[in-house]
């Protein structure tokens, strides 16, 4: 059946229709017509909503699917349903499953299980066997088997020689290394950001220094690998230089933002993202001892949060991610220092960024969910143009809604029960309309 999207404002700086209110006809998975008051005589499904906006499909760079191995927390089916409800057409899943995605067999399992889902699932393969940070995986084989990037996911790469050799190994295939920056020896037994609040609450702190040291180290190693001839011409205003060879996942501190800003100005092929919840909460929120607020990296100081918003505004930070980390009730209904880290976030990324927005223009915010993450993962561009595949997200940036249920198997979100601004209407992907309502 054909799908007709009525009177939607296009948010896509790459489209000639950007900013215009148009009708979009989707036929057999392709955008067949774009115009005003389209007269369609055939049988169609019409999608209408107040203040309807449309953009290219959103992409999440960091999702923990937990399948295989931890299906009691999440399955590929449930994570895909949650992603579609959050407006995503594409998600990149971490390798931290059981078994770890460190061989073609496990990667093939994830790709097969993702067939027929409402979102496209892109697999990030492990850098080291079992994600233990010791022996390399067969990265070239994994690349040819469909891995979009390489990372040990929730396990930051600690060994500098290993990281250096990975960057060198991936250069010939234009591969991407993703690392969550953390010096593990400085964060052992830590529960929250190290500062006044951790002292007042009597919890062991996690210093921002643990992140910043690794950001600085990895940038120095990247500079060593690419050499002077590999440096670009720099970026005006912090504009992303792509394709990046090194991507920092979920940065959280002001110093990290500044280090990456300076690296981009020097022309280094580096990119980074921030988790949506890091833009909402600071460490004072943990006074409630709500274990749903226990995340890694931890919520930092108000100054750090302000720096993250500034990094988004000047394009130092390229993408906003969910850092979706499902945890079952047995892992969260504990004393704070015993609870696991992580929260679910696929359904609330856009709403969190809109509800707590610090004057970031809508078009720029959407770019952090669309064009930038696609470029980082080397995915084909999703364009709103006639004849192009229909990969679309429909939303109302001013709409309010009550987050009262989740499609995820886990419920570890501090946003449940809250009224948020920024409502997802649904997605059009693989020729299907997936309603989020």
Catalytic residues: 323
Distance CA 277, CA 266 (A): 30
Q: How many CB atoms lie within 10 A of CB 164?
A: 16
**Exposure string over 362-401, b if 16+ CB within 10 A, otherwise e:** beebbbbbbbbbbbbbebeebbbeeebbbbbbbbbbebeb
CA distance 122 to 225: 27
Output the CA angle 135-259-298, nearest 5 degrees. Answer: 70
Query: Cα separation of 197 and 44, whole Å?
Result: 56
Identify the bridge partners of residue 46 per DSSP, sorted by sequence position: 4
The answer to whether 346 and 64 have CB atoms below 8 angstroms apart is no
Category of 227 on φ-ψ map: left (φ > 0), alpha (ψ -120 to 50) or beta? left
Instruction: State the residue for tokens 């939607």.
Output: 8
Query: Do 133 and 140 form a contact (C-beta atoms < 8 A)?
Result: no
């Amino acid at each position: 059946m054909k799908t007709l999207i009525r009177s939607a404002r296009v948010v896509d700086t790459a489209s000639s229709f950007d900013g215009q209110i148009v009708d979009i006809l989707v036929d057999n998975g392709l955008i067949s017509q774009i115009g005003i008051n389209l007269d369609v005589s055939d049988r169609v499904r019409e999608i209408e909503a107040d203040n309807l906006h449309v953009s290219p499909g959103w992409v999440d760079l960091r999702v923990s699917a937990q399948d295989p191995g931890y299906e009691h927390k999440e399955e590929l089916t449930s994570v895909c349903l949650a992603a579609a409800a959050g407006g995503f057409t594409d998600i990149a899943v971490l390798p931290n499953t059981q078994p770890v995605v460190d061989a073609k067999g496990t990667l093939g399992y994830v790709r097969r299980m993702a067939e027929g889902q409402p979102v496209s699932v892109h697999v990030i393969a492990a850098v080291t066997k079992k994600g233990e940070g010791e022996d390399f995986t067969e990265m070239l084989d994994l690349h040819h088997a469909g891995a979009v990037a390489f990372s040990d996911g929730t396990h930051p790469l600690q060994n500098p020689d290993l990281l250096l050799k990975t960057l060198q190994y991936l250069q010939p295939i234009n591969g991407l290394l993703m690392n969550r920056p953390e010096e593990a020896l400085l964060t052992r037994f830590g529960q929250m950001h190290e500062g006044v609040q951790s002292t007042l609450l009597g919890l062991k702190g996690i210093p921002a220094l643990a992140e910043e040291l690794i950001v600085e180290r990895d940038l120095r190693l990247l500079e060593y690998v690419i050499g002077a001839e590999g440096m670009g011409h720099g970026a005006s205003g912090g504009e992303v230089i792509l394709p990046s060879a090194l991507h920092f996942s979920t940065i959280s501190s002001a110093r990290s933002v500044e280090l990456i800003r300076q690296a981009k100005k020097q022309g280094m092929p580096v990119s980074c993202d921030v988790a949506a919840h890091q833009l909402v909460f600071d460490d004072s929120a943990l006074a409630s001892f709500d274990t749903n607020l226990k995340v890694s990296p931890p919520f930092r100081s108000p100054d750090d949060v302000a720096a993250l918003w500034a990094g988004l505004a000047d394009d130092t930070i390229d993408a906003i991610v969910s850092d979706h980390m499902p945890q079952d009730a047995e892992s969260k209904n504990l004393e704070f220092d015993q609870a696991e880290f992580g929260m679910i976030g696929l359904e609330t990324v856009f709403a969190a960024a809109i509800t707590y927005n610090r004057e970031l223009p809508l078009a720029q915010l959407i770019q952090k969910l669309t064009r930038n993450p696609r470029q980082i993962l080397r995915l084909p561009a999703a364009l709103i143009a006639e004849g192009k595949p229909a990969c679309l997200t429909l939303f109302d940036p001013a709409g309010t809604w009550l987050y009262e249920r989740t499609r995820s198997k886990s419920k570890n979100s501090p946003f449940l029960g809250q009224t948020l601004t920024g409502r997802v209407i649904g997605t059009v992907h693989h020729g299907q309309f997936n309603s989020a309502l």
